[in-house]
Structure 1
Amino acid sequence: MLRHFAHPKRLTLVAVPLAVLVAVAVTPQVRGQQGAGAFESSDEVRAAIARAERASKRADRRAQSLERAAGQAEQEAEKIASQSAALAARIQETEAEIAVGKGQLQLIARQQRALDARLGERREPLIRLTGALQNFSRRPLVLSVFRPGSIRESMYLRAVLETTIPQVRGRTAALRAEIDKSRALRAEAEGVLRKLAEEEDRLSLRRTQLAAIETRKRLAARRRGGEADRQEERALAYAEQARDLDGLVDRIDAAGALRDELAELPGPILRPTRPSQARASGTTTRIPPSTSRTVRSPSGLRLPVDGRTLRGFGSVDSKGARSEGLLIRAGAGAQVVTPAPGRVAFSGPFRGYDRIVIIEHPNGWTSLITGLARSDVNVGDTLAEGAPLGVAPPDGGAIGFELRLGGRSANPLDHLSR
């Protein structure tokens, strides 16, 4: 009879819920990695992943084009400019890939938390059952002979338990499936984390390469003489005279329009051989104002940084102020590039806006980028397409982007290159 009650099924009965509970207890959880609470729903996370994937593909295409241009450039300055812009595009590509990985981790963390909730609901009854089984299994059958009725009770209990084995196995099967899914999520998270580490290393290397190129550019600009210093002094004077950001942009717009009008003046007229025979033509050529040009969108206009749009053009905040541009949520230390080719008219801090950059583009356009933690351009620099401007704050932040024509704000989204 002792051999009958030591049947292996009794040990299996105890082992099944024990194994399940041990697995529940030791399974590592993926909890809130990389700011899992940054989005309110899984749909928002998936949308952010899709947005980052599109940004990565755009940056890759732009980088390939700029790398080809750098390879074909004959002049050293043109080659350096293309290399710098190509590296900035590669940095933005890597930042987008990191954003994709972080979004995937957020989805995994959300799925893991849902699994935790389901496992918690199923864990309590199994814990009570396992405790009873453990106590029962620790009592040797031979001791039952010293207690009246204990052998009969033991026979009854074990007979009942023999019939419950299929039910226990069936109820724990779903739990075991959930645990297997949790382990699969953990393996997926580990793979994403390995890829993130590789992308972080690649990002660090590319930023180092870009810093080296930017140093070469600054040294070359320093050798060109004092014209850049004079332009920077004039820009600083505009900043001191301007009462607000709009005033600064207006002054720079006026200076740019004056410079364009001076450039359109006709060249000197040669003195005739016989001055006494010279006759005035009787007509004069009027210099067309800068606003008379055909309005065309800036060439290749793009957003200066990838990220979610916090405020759109024309939106009104809680204080009743109307937005004159876009406000974009940039990642930590994200690379910011020029929206379009042009000339730097102002670069530096300005009255509560951290560092700003104002760029003059052809056809009378002006762009304004605010919220930079660091600017890497100087007044007078000529910027090629995609040239780096600076970086976002180390903890991320809002980058402002305004586009103006003749002092009037325009919606940048209406002029983006398709």
Structure 2
Amino acid sequence: MKRGVLITIVTGTGALALLSGAWIASAQQVVVSGRTASMADEQRAYRQASEQAKRARALSRQLEAQASAATREADRLNAQAAALAARVTESEADLRAGQARIAIIGKLVERQSAGLARQQGPLVRLTAALQSFSSRPPVLALLQPGSLRDTVHVRAAFAHLLPVIRERTDRLRADLDRTRALQAMAVQATDGLRDARARLAEQRVALSRLEAQKRIAARGLSSDAALETERALAMSERARDIGALLARMQQAGARRDRLAALPGPEPRPGTPERAAAAAAAAAPAYRLPVAGTLITGMGELSDSGVRSRGITIATAPGAQVVAPARGRIVFAGPYGGFGQIVIIDHGDGWTTLVTDLARLSVAVGQDVGQGGPIGVAGGGEHPAVTIELRRQGRPVDVVAMANAGV
């Protein structure tokens, strides 16, 4: 069964919002009727996107600090790429927040216009009646029997109605002012959306340039990478399906782990090597690799009756996809029916599969840090990315792992 649950993919703190909660509350004061589900959905989407943007910005600052502190060129480039990818995610979230903001303002203007139309009708008719009565010649009242008495009564009634008319007129003017304010907000939101699109385009270009720089820096390892790529392609040709391919990659990763565990010089306590070995034995810190809406959860049945072994996230066209945890790329390329796919070996039996990518930013044999760019989502009408996480070949709940923050 499909679900429309918005999820946040990044961690950290920060402050970034195109609209504050106070703005939403003040804008709602112009609403004539109660909130509708569509308005609530837009507000929820806005808040979720704003939160994603804040967290992505905090993460990018953290990664930028790591890049500044890095002493090795490869580490610096990896941290810079991850920081830029977080900036791209931030801009993508800003873009979604801006779109939600414009939708909210549009609905408020629509409601306000409908309310103005309802208020103007009776007031226009009453004003027309007053004008018609005031234009009657006084001599006409003397020629018609009883009309003088009626005139006195009508004038007394009008004197009673004048305060009501003034009150309604003042209220109508205030509503018109609020409508103009909403229209000004719409113009501002449109400008902000245009700026967000331009910023996103610039950041994507910068990320592409940095990825090209990383490829140039890695040319010295091209022979080893080519050998690993050939092995990965051979495995994909022998695998009967994507599950079998993932199992083969896990077996290869297990062999690498066993080789790495062979006796060697024992690191001294307190050394970086000892700390790295201890970290490798723990579960990887995990995050969701793309921002969007969860449409298929762990264990859900598809229309064809197949149970999901991971999650599927509906995302924006061309959305940035990043490594959910640090690891080594053991497969990167097309796989029948799944678009471009990436398999990341995190060590100690942990493996991530990401499918349905349109373009890849990594190659087999490459080491990636958490948050490092691995590719982009498709550009179709309803792009989605599927993620599977496995531990010793068994599926693990991706969302629970990310929420645990381990």
TM-score range, shorter chain: 0.7 to 0.9
* 1:38-93, Cα deviation, whole Å (9 max, x unpaired): x9433333332332233223222221121111112222222111111111111112
Per the alignment, residue 305 of structure 2 pairs with: 320
Aligned partners of 1:355 and 1:48: how far apart in 2?
Answer: 29
Q: Which amino acid aligns with 1:89?
A: A
Question: How many Å apart are 1:98 and its aligned residue?
Answer: 2.3
- Is 1:310 matched up with 2:295? yes
**Structure 1 residue 340 displacement after superposition:** 0.4
The alpha-carbon distance between structure 1 residues 245 and 48, as it changes in their structure 2 partners (threshold 3 A), is: same
Q: Which residue of 1 aligns with 2:31?
A: none
* Corresponding residue for residue 108 of structure 1: 105
1:350 matched to 2:335: yes
Q: Is the 8 A contact 1:94 1:203 kept in 2?
A: yes
Q: Indicate the residue corresponding to 1:91 in structure 2.
A: 88
* CA 399–154 in structure 1, closer or farther in 2 if over 3 Å, else same: same
Asked if the contact 1:309–1:328 (Cα under 8 Å) also holds between the matched residues in 2, the reply is yes
Q: 1:399 aligns with which of 385, 391, 406?
A: 385
Q: Is the aligned partner of 1:42 residue 2:39? A: yes
**1:175 paired residue number:** 172
Matched, 1:414 2:400: yes
User: For residues 139 and 197 of structure 1, do their structure 2 counterparts lie closer, same or farther at Cα, with a shift above 3 Å needed?
Assistant: farther
Shift of residue 249, structure 1, vs aligned partner: 0.6
- Report if the CA contact (8 A) 1:304-1:336 is conserved: yes
Cα displacement (A) at 1:139: 11
Partner of 1:361, secondary structure, is strand
1:66 to 45, 63, 68: 63
Cα distance between partner residues in 1 of 2:326 and 2:81 = 13
Name which of 241, 246, 250 aligns with 1:249. Answer: 246
- What is the alpha-carbon distance in structure 1 between the residues aligned to residue 101 and residue 175 of structure 2? 20
1:190 pairs, out of 187, 192, 195, with 187
Residue 340 (structure 1) aligned to one of 322, 325, 329: 325
User: Which letter maps to 2:307?
Assistant: R
- Superposition map of 1:293-304 within 5 A: 298-304=283-289
Structure 1 residue runs of 5 or longer lacking an equivalent are 1-29, 31-38, 142-152, 268-292
Distance 2:162 2:47 in 1: 48
Task: Please state how far the C-alpha of 1:226 moved relative to its aligned partner.
Answer: 1.9
Give the 5 Å matches for 1:177-326. 177-265=174-262, 298-326=283-311
Alpha carbons of 1:179 and 1:359: their partners in 2 closer, same or farther (altered >3 Å)?
A: same
Distance 1:295 1:71, change over 3 A: closer
Q: Are 2:315 and 1:330 equivalent residues in the alignment? A: yes
SS in 1 for 2:47: helix
Matched residue, 2:375: 390
Quick check: 327-336 or 130-139, which moved more? 130-139
Contact in 1 for aligned 2:349/2:393 (Cα 8 Å): no
Encode CA deviations 1:176-228: one digit per residue, 9 max, x unaligned. 22222211212222222222222222222211111110011122233433221
- Unmatched 5+ residue regions in structure 2? 1-26, 28-35, 139-149, 265-277
CA displacement at 1:110 relative to structure 2: 2.2
Q: Closer, same or farther in 2 for the Cα pair 1:156/1:415, shift >3 Å?
A: closer
2:257 touches 2:347 (CA, 8 Å); kept in 1? no
- Give the deviation of 1:261 after TM superposition: 2.7
**2:244 maps to amino acid:** G
Amino acid aligned to 1:303: L
Q: Report how far residue 388 of structure 1 moved.
A: 0.4
Contact 1:297 1:415 in 2 (8 A): no
Structure 2 distance, partners of 1:137, 1:390, is 75
Cα distance between partner residues in 2 of 1:40 and 1:397: 25
Q: Alpha carbons of 1:136 and 1:192: their partners in 2 closer, same or farther (altered >3 Å)?
A: same
- Is the Cα–Cα contact under 8 Å of residues 312 and 327 in structure 1 kept in the other structure? yes
Query: In the TM superposition, what are the counterparts of 1:148-167 in structure 2 within 5 Å?
Result: 165-167=162-164
Cα drift, residue 123 of structure 1: 3.6
1:238 shift after superposition: 1.9
What is the RMSD of the two structures over their aligned residues, measured on CA atoms? 3.5
Corresponding residue for residue 360 of structure 1: 345
SS in 2 for 1:389: strand
2:188 & 2:163 partners in 1: Cα distance? 37
The 10-residue stretch of structure 1 (226-235 or 158-167) with the greater mean CA deviation from structure 2: 158-167
After superposition, give the CA deviation of every residue in 1:215-250 in whole Å (9 maximum; x if it has no partner): 111222334332212211222222222222111111
Structure with max Cα Rg: 1
Deviates more, 1:184-193 or 1:153-162: 153-162
Pair 1:396–1:377, CA change in 2 (3 A): farther
Distance 1:217 1:158 in 2: 87
Structure with more relative contact order (C-alpha pairs < 8 Å, separation 6 or more): 2
Identity across aligned pairs (percent)? 40
Q: TM-score, normalised by structure 2?
A: 0.76
TM-score (norm 1): 0.74
- Give the AA of the match of 1:350: Y
